[in-house]
Structure 1
Amino acid sequence: MLLARQWTKTQLWGIRAAWLVLALAASLYCVHRFMGPSPLETNLLALLPATEADPVAEKAVDTLANALGDRTVFLVTSQDPDHAKAAAKQFGAALQKSGAFGSVTAELPPFDMSQIGALYMPYRFGLLTRDDRDALASNTMPLRDTLMQRIYNPVRGPLATQLADDPFGWLEHWLANLPLATSNLDLEDNMLVAHRGDRTSVLVVTTLPGSAYETQTQRAVLSAVGQAEASLKASHPDASVARTGAVFYAEAARSASEREVHLIGVASACGIALLMLWVFRSPRLLLLGFVSTALGIVCALAATMLVFGKLHLLTLVFGASLIGEAVDYSIQYFVVYLGARQGWNARQGARWVRPALSVALATSLLGYAILAWVPFPALKQIACFAIAGICTAFASVLWLLPVLLVKGPKRAQRRLFVRAAALLARWHAAIGGRRAWIVAGVLVLAAIPGWLRLTSDDDIHLLIQRDASLVAQEDQVRNAIGVDNTAQFFVVRGPSQEVVLQRAEALGAKLDALSGAQSVDGWQSVTQFVPSAQRQADAHAVLTQHVFTDPAALRSMLLQAGFRDEVADAWLASYAKSNAAPLTVEQWLSAQWSQPYRHLWLGAVDARGQRGYAAIVIPQRVTPDNVRTLTNTARSVEGVVFVDKAASVSKLFGAYRVDSGIWLALALLFVLVLLMVRYKPRGGIATTLPVLLAIGVTLAAFGYARVPLNLFNCLALMLVLGVGANYAVFLREGCLRDDADLGAVWTGVLLSAATTLLSFGMLGMSEMPALKSFGATLALGILVSVLLAPIGMPHQERSATRRAA
């Protein structure tokens, strides 16, 4: 047959050259990507799926994340107020000198507060606080008393207005209600200071010159902060610095992932190398096995970056564990190579191993394809990485290793293979044949109590775990400032700006009406800066009906109070001209001082082909006690949704965890049909039974251990199915091959399982809870799968095993 012939020298070198070109192309592409801006995605939010049904809500999440992402906040604290201020100045100067920040603000630059009043002055007759509007409308505000109190009140705020422009103080009242200062900070010596007990803290705020998720930016910031803190410690040993910002979390996540990649990659590679050397006693086979695996890893990296543009940390760490699975295919080829009892033919060896590897590849691809279908960006990347990696490893075993292993082995591990054959025979006699159903029944009965104890936990923190030290510092900063930075907010939509503003005002009224545990302790909205045109018109109408009904009498009142004729006339004339265009959002946005609050206005949006506008309303206090009330409040106002990203992701976790049971059942059915087609119905059932029992035992173990199931446990069971089914397939294919050394086949199965356990088991040491769940589930499932794999061997295997022994 053609397949049994050896290659010519030209063919050999041609195939080798083709693989070399592929390896060079993939390697050069990876080097090119890592030489430029880092392709690593350290934005933890990028790991999360789009959970909101409304795409505008997703835009709001991104807008808030971007608004806060380029800011870093430092809190310099000391028991001595003067020391705290001096230390903050020195710290800010050191950060500024480093050049790592776009801007550093320790001392506030002089700001003319009159700029704020200047924006609103032309529209003052449409701006009334709720108290002033209600008092005027109910005639409980004597104008003369209000005027006298305004004239003789010596206490004036920073947004005080001139008597001539605002004789009754209505605009001043409205300006005082602007949410410009919603923290515990006081302005002292042009610095933002918080006093807590005997400690004084000074705020230093910086912005970044680039993205917080760029590796270069992270390293520059960490270096600058480290040097500034060291210098501060030397000159002000009593001062401490707390910090918070996306850049610190991103850097901590990147550093942790790099450590885990090194730990998992190096430990897995060393362990696998030692195992392969012990079994094969051939450095050449070890080298070729890692060549095949390295090809898979490099091509997987290149394919993932080519498809997605970025590489998630989760994918990188998971990729380091793929070594154990990718090397399985080469191990199966090596055992055929070492187990060949007659002259070695490389092409014939590839032909022998192809059926087993093809079935194994199909089952593995099934598991990863299901991961690709789940709408989690990180899981899609993991699936892409794994599919590209194992497909490349599969192809390299069939078309590269044969041209590198043309000559037969100098020696085989006959003693090891004989012992393995004897062990297989005894183990198959104990659990195989008719006893397989007894074993299955016992395992099911033992597993039932564990299944009944299963619980679930779909918390978002299973995916993201923040550095504990950074969380503690963030809490310190938050407590000092007095602002609860929440990721829970309302999104208000409407076909026009006016409708959005009116709906936001309606929502604000309902939030103000909440009391007790359901209250939110205030809220932030663009309507606090720009009332709707209707609200401005209503305020103007109240003034028309209750203040300016008799201009002559009003003028007389002003004159009696001491106003000059020209001042009274100018104010009355301003009112007469005021019923024109209202204050708009665009005018507010164009004011420089509005920059810290611009994230409250999303502007024009286009969702599902419907154009409109949207804004954000942020409640100041969201607790488990009032979340349901806030959700119901949102539903009571048209065009309003309550966005809780963490709860949305957790809910999605739960939904897909439930759905994963259906996917797993369908995948099992698909594998069963595939194996029944290959091995006939009885053989297919026997070959599928080990991995089915492995899944059941794994679930029972979690129940007995009181470990709640999460989505990642369930998705890992897909991989248990895809990888664990391979061991029974390898054994059965070995039984079907003529003249196969079953001791070598069993050795290869055990070695494959050991390498996979070593690599995936290392995930259990990850600091990422998601990967830890993956690792624990895969390790247990694969261990049970390989132990039960002989159940899938055909009955005639007993005599064949004796012959091999």
Structure 2
Amino acid sequence: MNAGNAISLNLVSLLPVEERSPALDDAVGNVRDEFERKWIVLIGSANAERVIALAIQAGEELDAATGAKVDAGASPDTARDIYEFYSKYRHGLMDREFAALLAAGDRERIASHIARRYVDPSALITSQLIEKDPLLLLSAFMGETLPAMPSNARLESGVVSFERNGMHYVPIILDLPESPFSQRMQNKVIAALSDLRNRLAEKSPRSRLLSTGVVLHAAKGTESATREISTVGLGSLIGVVALILFVFRSLKPLIAAIVAISTGFISGLFACLFLFGEVHILTLVFGGSLVGISVDYVFHYYCERAHGPTSLSGMQALAHIRPGITLGLITTLIGFVGLWIAPFPGLRQMAVFSGAGLVAAYLSVCFWFPRFDFKLSPLPPNVRSMIDAVTTKGQRFSTRVLTGGICLSGVVLILGIFQLVPTDDVRLFQSLGANLKAEQEEIEAILSSNRASQFFVVEAKSAETLLQLDEEISDLLRIAGQENFTSVSRFVPSIKRQQENTRLLIETLDTESIQIFLHDALGLAPQMLNAYSASLSGHAAPLTLPEWLGAPASHGHRDLYLGEADGIHRSIILLDVAHDIARLEELANSRPNVHFIDTAGAYSRTFTKYREQTIFLALISYLLVSMVLAWRYGWLGMLTIMTAPVAAAIASLGVIGWVGASFSLFNVMALLLALGISVDYGIFFREMKGRKVETLIAVILSGLTTILAFGLLAFSDTAAIQAFGLTIFVSIAVALLISPIMGGYLKGTGK
């Protein structure tokens, strides 16, 4: 399988699929894909003329290096072409304010409104224009319809530049030929930007290069995840190597540990590829932590091999540890059940990776290790003496002091749980570089451009019905105070509205008082007005959506119309700023064929729902594990073993509450994983059968490697992974302290 296709970098693929119709989901996906493939580059220079030449050359170089298509933008003839296009349909086109005056029938205000147009100093009025459009309707319509250029922008030779702080910037808008989550595409973009930056530094040292786009954020996330994979995996491996060499004084257990770890990791990887067709890079980050878990079996095996004055054979060691590690594997897999049954692709992928990896590591210990029947020296005396020193100090604590300390700590930690504040923001799942974010904000400030991530999707069975519904929603948005948005009906009024505009205009011009006012105030001859009124009755066919889509007037806005699929036409209404999300959702819900798309908000709400569901699944997992343990050890034995994972969960949640860290779905995921790990410790102590030192050494080694692995996750750039690592770190540390006590070892009972 091609590695570039097997490793997924798209965060959306880890998130649950929203419950929508397939056709609507495809439409929303197309909008999202188009946005994600946009890549903006700004070339800046103090020389306004030179920056245009630099930008044109830069666009050609970026196109050649990446295959990205450069948006040609507006040509010098575009404005004239747009005016000529709309002039053919001018009789039915007018601005909203004038249309409202016509509908109200206030002839005095209508006349005053027309008069103000004639005295507007910015209006370019010619005798030819007055003859064709004496009421100046078309210029008013275009002024309202076409977005005005920002005050810091200017158009020269068909190139738009923006001035800010003495620098002139020319934007280059590119469309990527591949997904921005393709590592190949990311590499091309990063390399092209680096080369362009170097060439600009040589040609124009004072020039600036700014860039933004999903592809850059995705590349940063890939870099971060790759670094974390290396850090977690390599850091854990170094820890394992150091511990093995210190305890066993031999490379043989180290080689065996590497075999078990590699087997587990590769098995988890192929299980994900088989079931999902790909494996997400964050799953690999999570999988890197399996180093600290799968090696547990290795430690217990070799601690048994090194038991007593002479080492045991491989089969003897396996016979001693098989019951414990088998039950430990079962309980760990039960802990992953909650992740697997959750309708969350990311959790299921992590559960498959972890479960398959641990099973493979377990099988490698059971079937391969006894075949490596080499001699192994007993545990060094200094290791045993260190363990004896720890246990001796532990036995000096009185039961009263120990109980009091645990109770006091428990009260403090439980109070910390009440400080938890759920955080389900989808941005926890992202790793945004501060420099990239600052550069994006600077570009938005230069271009005076911003776009909300929320939008509406409008559906109808015909193009005309679509435009009418689009107009209705647009009017409701204005009533709701949502003025800044872009819709297709802004550029193409429905035929119904055009015909209504024409009818109202004819009725108004047939009024004698209007004609007298226009003649006296503006010098418009009655004959001209009568000829204009007559032309309204016999005007050409109204403007239609297909005609607009095929004309230069639709340049830059064609994507508002999503096309027709299965007999349904769709368009989108883009919002510059979403003021009141709840009100916008209510507006969409009031119409059956209107959908408010708030992807980030929907995912955040989904995180909330699945966090609550996963908490329930975690409780079920704890209950199932308790039932298995009660069947194996009885109710009292179950209570002694489950004390550690329950205390670990309370401790981790309490610490998170007191330090003010985020509490989200990822903390609950970590608690499920911590259950499987910490239960193992209790089982191993329960199964030690007189092999106290070896069991304690193995558990300590296992705990230290796990803490090392997940402790490194706490340093992740992504808050979600930080939360996961912190929860596991605290949980395992507490379980490592409590398990020997509940196992009766530190108190000397051994029962």
Q: Normalised by the size of structure 2, how large is the TM-score? A: 0.88
Hey, what's the Cα distance between the residues in 2 that align with 1:373 and 1:161?
Answer: 73
8 Å contact from structure 1 (residues 125, 575) kept in 2: no
Q: Which amino acid aligns with 1:99?
A: A
Cα deviation per residue 1:729-754 (whole Å; 9 max; x = unaligned)?
1111223xxxx532111111111111
Aligned match of 2:423: 457
Aligned match of 1:717: 671
The structure 2 residue matched to 1:482, chosen from 412, 428, 448, is 448
The structure 2 residue matched to 1:374, chosen from 342, 352, 362, is 342
Q: Residue 750 of structure 1: SS of its match in structure 2? A: helix
Change (3 A) 1:777 1:430: farther
Cα deviation per residue 1:552-597 (whole Å; 9 max; x = unaligned)?
x99xx9xx969999x998995674364x6x5443443344653532
Matched, 1:412 2:378: yes
8 Å contact from structure 1 (residues 431, 439) kept in 2: no
Mind listing any 5+ residue stretches in structure 2 that lack a counterpart?
Answer: none
Aligned match of 1:534: 496
Change (3 A) 1:422 1:510: same
Deviation (angstroms), 1:677: 0.8
Q: How is 1:255-274 mapped onto 2 (pairs within 5 angstroms)?
A: 255-274=223-242
The structure 2 residue matched to 1:357, chosen from 321, 325, 332, is 325
Aligned match of 1:229: 197
Cα deviation per residue 1:650-708 (whole Å; 9 max; x = unaligned)?
33333333343323222221111111111111111111111111111122222232334
Q: How is 1:676-691 mapped onto 2 (pairs within 5 angstroms)?
A: 676-691=630-645
Q: Residue 206 of structure 2: SS of its match in structure 1? A: coil
Deviation (angstroms), 1:136: 3.1
Hey, what's the Cα distance between the residues in 1 that align with 2:539 and 2:165?
Answer: 53
Q: How is 1:329-344 mapped onto 2 (pairs within 5 angstroms)?
A: 329-339=297-307, 344=312
Hey, what's the Cα distance between the residues in 2 that align with 1:274 and 1:642?
Answer: 56
Q: How is 1:279-428 mapped onto 2 (pairs within 5 angstroms)?
A: 279-339=247-307, 344-403=312-371, 405-407=372-374, 409-413=375-379, 415=381, 418-419=384-385, 422=388, 426=392
Q: Residue 99 of structure 1: SS of its match in structure 2? A: helix
8 Å contact from structure 1 (residues 728, 786) kept in 2: no
Deviation (angstroms), 1:370: 1.7
Q: Which amino acid aligns with 1:520?
A: Q
8 Å contact from structure 2 (residues 460, 569) kept in 1: yes
The structure 1 residue matched to 2:407, chosen from 432, 438, 441, is 441
Matched, 1:622 2:578: yes
Hey, what's the Cα distance between the residues in 2 that align with 1:734 and 1:262?
Answer: 35
Change (3 A) 1:614 1:429: farther
8 Å contact from structure 1 (residues 687, 728) kept in 2: yes
Q: How is 1:769-784 mapped onto 2 (pairs within 5 angstroms)?
A: 769-784=719-734
Greater shift, 270-279 or 504-513, is seen at 504-513
Change (3 A) 1:143 1:661: closer
Q: Residue 170 of structure 2: SS of its match in structure 1? A: strand
Q: How is 1:43-54 mapped onto 2 (pairs within 5 angstroms)?
A: 43-51=10-18
Change (3 A) 1:797 1:697: closer
Deviation (angstroms), 1:375: 3.8
Aligned match of 1:23: none
Q: How is 1:387-786 mapped onto 2 (pairs within 5 angstroms)?
A: 387-403=355-371, 405-407=372-374, 409-413=375-379, 415=381, 418-419=384-385, 422=388, 426=392, 429=395, 440-494=406-460, 497-514=463-480, 519-547=481-509, 572=534, 575-576=537-538, 578=540, 583-591=543-551, 594=554, 596-604=556-564, 612-623=568-579, 626-637=580-591, 639-735=593-689, 741-786=691-736
8 Å contact from structure 1 (residues 428, 790) kept in 2: no
Change (3 A) 1:647 1:152: closer
Q: How is 1:47-196 mapped onto 2 (pairs within 5 angstroms)?
A: 47-51=14-18, 59=26, 61-96=28-63, 98-104=64-70, 109-117=75-83, 120=86, 123-137=89-103, 138=105, 140=107, 166=133, 168-181=135-148, 183=150, 185-196=153-164
Q: Which amino acid aligns with 1:392?
A: A
Greater shift, 660-669 or 175-184, is seen at 175-184
8 Å contact from structure 1 (residues 322, 760) kept in 2: no
Hey, what's the Cα distance between the residues in 2 that align with 1:497 and 1:697?
Answer: 60
Mind listing any 5+ residue stretches in structure 1 that lack a counterpart?
Answer: 1-31
Hey, what's the Cα distance between the residues in 2 that align with 1:535 and 1:432?
Answer: 88
Change (3 A) 1:508 1:522: same
Change (3 A) 1:510 1:336: same
Q: Residue 187 of structure 1: SS of its match in structure 2? A: strand
8 Å contact from structure 2 (residues 39, 215) kept in 1: yes
Matched, 1:39 2:1: no
Matched, 1:789 2:739: yes
Deviation (angstroms), 1:774: 0.8
Aligned match of 1:17: none
Matched, 1:199 2:167: yes
Change (3 A) 1:208 1:799: closer
Greater shift, 412-421 or 62-71, is seen at 412-421
Q: Which amino acid aligns with 2:2?
A: R
8 Å contact from structure 1 (residues 631, 642) kept in 2: yes
Hey, what's the Cα distance between the residues in 2 that align with 1:697 and 1:148?
Answer: 76
Change (3 A) 1:587 1:352: farther
Q: Which amino acid aligns with 1:217?
A: M
8 Å contact from structure 1 (residues 521, 621) kept in 2: no
Aligned match of 1:247: 215
Cα deviation per residue 1:57-100 (whole Å; 9 max; x = unaligned)?
7556533322222221122223343343344344334434x432
8 Å contact from structure 2 (residues 293, 706) kept in 1: yes
Q: Which amino acid aligns with 2:439?
A: Q
Deviation (angstroms), 1:469: 0.8
Hey, what's the Cα distance between the residues in 2 that align with 1:645 and 1:84?
Answer: 37
Q: Normalised by the size of structure 1, how large is the TM-score? A: 0.82
Counting matched residue pairs gives 743
Q: How is 1:2-13 mapped onto 2 (pairs within 5 angstroms)?
A: none
Deviation (angstroms), 1:387: 1.7
Q: Residue 455 of structure 1: SS of its match in structure 2? A: coil
8 Å contact from structure 1 (residues 333, 350) kept in 2: yes
Change (3 A) 1:666 1:438: farther
8 Å contact from structure 2 (residues 337, 621) kept in 1: no
Hey, what's the Cα distance between the residues in 2 that align with 1:362 and 1:430?
Answer: 35
Hey, what's the Cα distance between the residues in 1 that align with 2:126 and 2:277?
Answer: 50
Q: Which amino acid aligns with 1:33?
A: N
Hey, what's the Cα distance between the residues in 1 that align with 2:603 and 2:21?
Answer: 14
Q: CA RMSD in A?
A: 3.8
